[in-house]
Structure 1
Amino acid sequence: MSDQIQASAAGRFQFPGTDIVVNRMGYGAMQLAGPHVFGPPADPDEARAVLREAIALGVDHIDTSDFYGPHVTNTLIREALAPYPDDLTLVTKVGAWRDDAGNWNLRRDADFLRRSVEDNLRRLGLAAMDVVNLRMGGPEDDIAAPMRAMKALQDDGLVRHIGVSTVTADQLRAARDIAPIVCVQNHYNLVQREDDALIDTLAEAGIAYVPYFPLGGFWPIQMEGLTRIAERLGRSKQQVALAWLLQRSPNILVIPGTSTRAHLRDNVAAAALTLDDATMAELNGLHAAR
């Protein structure tokens, strides 16, 4: 891997109030599951190879959840990577479950959250999770009760640090009144820009912002302007979109997912791509023109 760009090229970030320092270029394991994040992958050997290559490329932050599959990505991570490298940070998410038809169901009562954390620990083969994100369902949801449950899990030593996902600024403030928050994981990318103000607020507080669907998720970003810029730079659209995120704010950590080693290498190469001011302005203008 010495000839491959390493994840460390994007720089490093320390989660606030912790000893966890990670490369800003990480990896999201969601796409290792089957279609629509349900069932096993078509090629489990390639899935495990992707995880091993991610580590070889310097990725030390992997995002997963036991409801991906369900249970698929955590099982693959343990099969491919255990015993885990000392510097690997595994982050999971709780607050949802999948039924037999593959539907996504939200649930956040204390008993369910505890079972969810325990399921993640059992399948990953860990005694405690580095970071667990509490997944909310919308701006109308009360975050106080599930956050108190998360704090109890932290007090019991099952969760080292707490993050939140799919939250508003008001929900984040309420969560921080109950326990320290080390990261926020919301939907954000070159097109999805509703969290611009929140990102700047978090940067001032030193809290990580981890955008999910950084490349558009199930509907990849398709913008004529992005294609034009990528072709001019001789880069893939995915690399340009990821590089834009990394330059958008120093507290942004990216976790692009893929199920192939070729796409993994392409994504990680974005860690070394520096966009000049004119290109950044041009990319920002694409959103403004929508």
Structure 2
Amino acid sequence: MDTRMPFLLGGTLPVRRLGFGTGGLVGPGYWGPRHEDPERSVALLRRAVERGVTLIDTADNYGPDVAEELVARALHPYPDGLVIATKGGVVRTGPDVWHIAGRPEQLRAMCDASLRRLRTDTIDLYQLHRLDPDVPMADQLGALRELQQAGKIRHIGLDSISAAELARARELAPIASVQNRYNLLDRASEEVLKLCERTGTAFLPWFPLGNGSLTGGGAADGSADPAAATLTAIAATHDATPGQIALAWLLHHSPALLPTPGTGSPAHLDENLAAAHICLTDEEFARLDALAAGSA
């Protein structure tokens, strides 16, 4: 598989499969900015695009508002071919404190606010950050369909859903993407991924590096970690890092996977993007594929 081949998001927007997520540009608990000097984040976003990234993934509650404002500050007017994805449907009130807000009037207001912060008339991919259990799915997706028909949204995505929910949602609206937690050692959403493959739906895995657990090192108690040992050994043969191998595995595992790892470091950005050029052998892929059984 040529992991550098683009993915056609929503059937209309070609994007490179390794994108950039903006969660790393905000502070702990997704609260406030990460850097005191916003120009550091601005420079990082511009570097990502200069390095060939064509998919930027953000959310209105990162900061809140901070990440979207940084995207606009750094990249507006947006170059041709750059796809901006954002999320709504969650209200953040403090570090790691948030609640779901999926009533149609809330979603409409959130989308309008994102449009203003991103300085655009149309959001390429607007993702419902969580399904609201207190609001019928038809009402939530109906609001997004109205926004789509009004030209404010180009494509609709969903976050943290089951395969059954995705199948039902597809009966109510065209779904271009899914964002679920998924990585080398966490494959609970494999059924969702398979449905995405069958339907041409993009799967943007969040925590693609296990929130840092797949970037190297051993277990928390200092004992040997079989997964870390395997990653380290394979990385050594490619003159790479364990994190690069974990990203390369995602790109090889399924053509529907579009990882968007985030970082606040230029060096780490370059390291992540270089993973797209790693070609795993069949034997290496099989060794990595087998790790999930041992992590269950």
TM-score (norm 1): 0.91
Q: Name whichever of 52-61 and 156-165 sits farther off.
A: 156-165
1:30 has 2:35 as partner: no
Checking the alignment, whether the CA contact within 8 Å between 1:74 and 1:120 is kept in structure 2 is: yes
CA distance in 2, matches of 1:274, 1:140: 46
Checking the alignment, whether the CA contact within 8 Å between 1:54 and 1:264 is kept in structure 2 is: yes
Determine the structure 2 residue equivalent to 1:253: 258
Determine the structure 2 residue equivalent to 1:86: 80
Which of these residues, 72, 79, 98, is aligned with residue 104 of structure 1? 98
Determine the structure 1 residue equivalent to 2:180: 186
CA distance in 2, matches of 1:218, 1:106: 26
1:122: how far off? 0.4
How many pairs does the alignment contain? 282
Q: CA offsets, 1:234-283, max 9 Å, x none? A: 21111100000000011111101011110000000001111011001000
1:196 has 2:190 as partner: yes
Cα 1:213/1:79, change in 2 over 3 Å? same
1:141: how far off? 7.9
TM-score (norm 2): 0.90
CA distance in 1, matches of 2:67, 2:18: 19
Determine the structure 2 residue equivalent to 1:5: none
Q: Please give the residue correspondences for 1:7-46 in structure 2 after superposition, counting only pairs within 5 Å.
A: 10-17=4-11, 19-42=12-35, 43-46=37-40
Checking the alignment, whether the CA contact within 8 Å between 2:155 and 2:175 is kept in structure 1 is: yes
Checking the alignment, whether the CA contact within 8 Å between 1:191 and 1:221 is kept in structure 2 is: no
Q: CA RMSD in A?
A: 2.0
CA distance in 1, matches of 2:134, 2:214: 28
1:136: how far off? 2.1
3-state SS, counterpart of residue 275 of structure 1: coil
CA distance in 1, matches of 2:287, 2:30: 34
Which of these residues, 171, 192, 202, is aligned with residue 177 of structure 1? 171
Q: CA offsets, 1:186-218, max 9 Å, x none? A: 110001101223212211211111111101126
Q: Please give the residue correspondences for 1:1-290 in structure 2 after superposition, counting only pairs within 5 Å.
A: 10-17=4-11, 19-42=12-35, 43-100=37-94, 103-136=97-130, 142-217=136-211, 223-224=227-228, 225-290=230-295
3-state SS, counterpart of residue 240 of structure 1: helix
- Equivalent position amino acid for 2:44 in 1: V
Cα 1:279/1:79, change in 2 over 3 Å? same
Q: CA offsets, 1:58-111, max 9 Å, x none? A: 101000011100011111111111111011100011110111455121111111
- Equivalent position amino acid for 2:30 in 1: V
- Equivalent position amino acid for 2:154 in 1: R
3-state SS, counterpart of residue 130 of structure 1: strand
Cα 1:39/1:15, change in 2 over 3 Å? same
Q: Structure 2 unaligned segments of length 5 or more: list them.
A: 217-226
Q: CA offsets, 1:102-157, max 9 Å, x none? A: 51211111111111111111001011111111122589985332111111111222
Q: Name whichever of 210-219 and 155-164 sits farther off.
A: 210-219
Checking the alignment, whether the CA contact within 8 Å between 2:248 and 2:279 is kept in structure 1 is: yes
Q: Structure 1 unaligned segments of length 5 or more: list them.
A: 1-7
CA distance in 2, matches of 1:168, 1:221: 27
CA distance in 2, matches of 1:111, 1:219: 39
- Equivalent position amino acid for 1:157 in 2: G
Cα 1:166/1:142, change in 2 over 3 Å? farther
1:46: how far off? 1.6
